[in-house]
Chain A
Amino acid sequence: MKIAVLVKQTPDTETKAKLGGSGLDTTGVKFILNPYDEFAVEEAIQLRDKNSGEATVVSLGPDRVVEAMRTALAMGCDNGIHVKVSDDDLAKFDSFAVAKALAESIKDKGFDLILCGKQAIDDDALAVPQMVAEFLGLPRATVVTKLSIEGGKAKASRAVEGGAEEVIEFATPAVVAAHKGLNTPRYASLPGIMKAKQKKIDVVEASSLGVTADTAKVTYENFELPPEKAAGKVFKGEPAELAKQIVEHLRNEAKVI
């Protein structure tokens, strides 16, 4: 089984937002492998081990994203494709351009399955997996918490509102976007980290795939921090008195009850 795992390097969840001209000021920001992509990487490794074949990690961005790819390689992916764009261009890429470049980079390479995290924690768009599937004309399932694949037929459980799950059936090749719960991602072992340094990463310029900042359908016009909240009122006292104070303020001052 030939599997592609599409991953994104994102700022750590602890990141405090400071803004620059083209969005988040990344000076001093710690970057990580997008947490949801860890589930995709783990699933790819497990499926590769079960069915033999190979797992290829694919990421779009400037040179720094290779670090996130090395994490996936250290976990157990076999090789990588780095779809290169400059930092400046990346700031102008929207979901459409990213998905187009990723789709082009894996097209006609015989992948039986394309795994991704369901969303990246930086822009939370939940868009790239479905767009890649559409560009490649493949079936897809998103927010997947269970996956089984047998003889070219796949069955996936997808988390929907209120803890309910949809069961989806489709044929491979297909795009599957992983959610928390699909598996428990392994930590990269020390030998894994050493081996990852030797694994091959092919570099391809996004522009050579016909995708540039002009491919993007939206431009980013402005960035702003949310307004700071003024300090609130803090009540102290007996539980019954606290409850009374809260409810009175919710009704008379905040007018939300």
Chain B
Amino acid sequence: MTKALVLVEFKGTSIKKASLEAIHALASQGVEVDAIAFGPDAAAGKDAGAKAAGGQGAKNLFIANNDDLKFYQADVYAGTIAAQFKSGGYDILAGSASTTAKDLFPTLAARLDAGIAPDCVEVKVDGGSLSAKRPMLAGKYFATLKFKAFPAVVTIRPNAIGVGADSGNAAAASDLAPSGDIKSKTVELSGGGNSSRPDLAEADRIISAGRAIKASENFKIIEECADVIGAAVGASRAAVDAGMAPHSMQVGQTGKTVNPSLYIACGISGAIQHLAGMKTSKIIVAINTDPDAPIYQKADYGAVGDLFEVVPALKEEFKKLLSAG
């Protein structure tokens, strides 16, 4: 039977949905899945984590924790995962295409003498091999890769595959000793804005603004609307280059690639580079004063109007709808 080790990440003491999607993607194809997690949040969330991971089909949840692991430590993650992968006889290493996995998994692929398929939107395990579909040129086209042999290392794009119904089973949780020499040590984590808002790359709903927002303080209008529906806030490159938003908010080919169920583009004309970063969104809404803006060609719903008038009205409508249930 094909065996997979899946890196699961915690936000607070819960496993992130994107990590559960990675378990589901493999367990639902009959792969025997174990999960592995790191750090104090995982240790504190052990029981809830075992239920959530087990609910998606994981058999075991291994948790490694020590003082260094209050921060992400690439060398410890890599050392511990590589040791577990080899001793456990796994075929596949998987995780969500998170900031952590994007940094970590290439190191592990090289260490395990394996190839890597990053940021996949489909994964198929079939007869001793794995094939995966992934976006190229920021989603302008897709490539399907096939591993010549196991081991295979794969990361899965958040919101691409989804989670399954919770089976009610819990994974068996156990502690694992961290290993690996630290060559690059994370010593500090600083900054970060409103942590109650979801991460852009994993968000299920996103509201973005372009240069038409005119000033960074005007993002307040977008944020207020976003908070009503639990959305993350993004920006176009034009807005970022004009200094209205930090690069960490940029959606597009030289920013973040996003894949939400709902993407609302406010005052964004729709340059090819921006479209590349968000066009796999399930539903796209465009709000723009220019009825000929290219964004309308990708939008499911368009509203021709001024974002300064339409977004506050939209916030009120969302409030009404959600308070009505």
Interface residues of A (CB under 8 A from B): 11, 13-17, 19, 23-24, 35-36, 94-96, 99, 121-131, 133-135, 138-143, 159-171, 174, 180-181, 216-226, 229, 231-236, 239-240, 242-247, 249-251, 254, 256-257
Contacts and interface: CB of A to CB of B under 8 A. Distances in A.
Chain B residues touching A, range: 35 or more
Contacts of B298: 229
Among A36, A127, A129, max chain B CB count under 10 A is at A127
A126 B113 CA distance: 17
B110 A234 contact: no
A224 B142 contact: yes
Given A163-B248, A232-B296, A121 B138 contact: yes
Interface stretch (B24-32, B190-198, B213-221): B190-198
Given A218-B146, A257-B318, 11 more contacts: A13-B276, A128-B106, A217-B149, A220-B145, A224-B144, A226-B142, A232-B284, A235-B303, A243-B316, A246-B301, A247-B321
Contact of A17 (B141, B187, B291): B141
Interface string B180-196: 00011111111111110
Contact of A96 (B109, B193, B299): B109
Nearest to B309: A239
Given A24-B137, A217-B147, A250-B283, A14 B272 contact: yes
Closest 9 CB pairs of A and B: A217-B115, A164-B192, A243-B313, A134-B110, A127-B106, A139-B183, A239-B309, A130-B106, A17-B140
Contacts of A166: 71-72, 186, 188-189
Contacts of B248: 159, 162-163
Given A96-B109, A133-B107, A163-B246, A168 B283 contact: no
Contact of B136 (A13, A23, A94, A126): A23
A174 B141 CA distance: 34
Interface in B95-121: 98-99, 102-107, 109-111, 113-119
A136 to B, nearest CB: 10
Contact of B301 (A17, A221, A250): A250
B313 A218 contact: no
Interface in B140-191: 140-149, 183-191
Contacts of A174: 184
Nearest to B300: A232
B318 A247 contact: yes
Interface string B280-321: 101111010001000011111111111001101110111001
Contacts of B117: 218
B301 A169 contact: no
Contacts of A250: 262, 283, 285, 301
Interface of B: 71-72, 74-75, 98-99, 102-107, 109-111, 113-119, 131, 135-149, 183-195, 197, 199-201, 205, 229, 246-249, 253-254, 257, 261-262, 272-273, 276, 279-280, 282-285, 287, 291, 296-306, 309-310, 312-314, 316-318, 321-322
B283 A221 contact: no
16 contacts: A16-B140, A94-B115, A95-B109, A124-B118, A124-B135, A125-B106, A127-B109, A163-B192, A168-B186, A170-B184, A224-B144, A226-B279, A233-B302, A239-B309, A239-B313, A256-B205
A11 B138 CA distance: 12
Contacts of B103: 126, 130, 142-143
Contact of B137 (A11, A129, A138, A142): A11
Contacts of A19: 141
B280 A127 contact: no
Contacts of A130: 103-104, 106-107, 110
A219 B313 CA distance: 50
Given A166-B71, A221-B144, A134 B111 contact: yes
A124 B109 contact: no
B139 A226 contact: yes
Contact of B291 (A121, A143, A229, A234): A234
Between B149, B254, B312, the greatest number of chain A beta carbons within 10 A of the residue's beta carbon is seen for B254
A23 B136 CA distance: 9
Contacts of B144: 220-224
B186 A167 contact: yes
Nearest to B320: A247
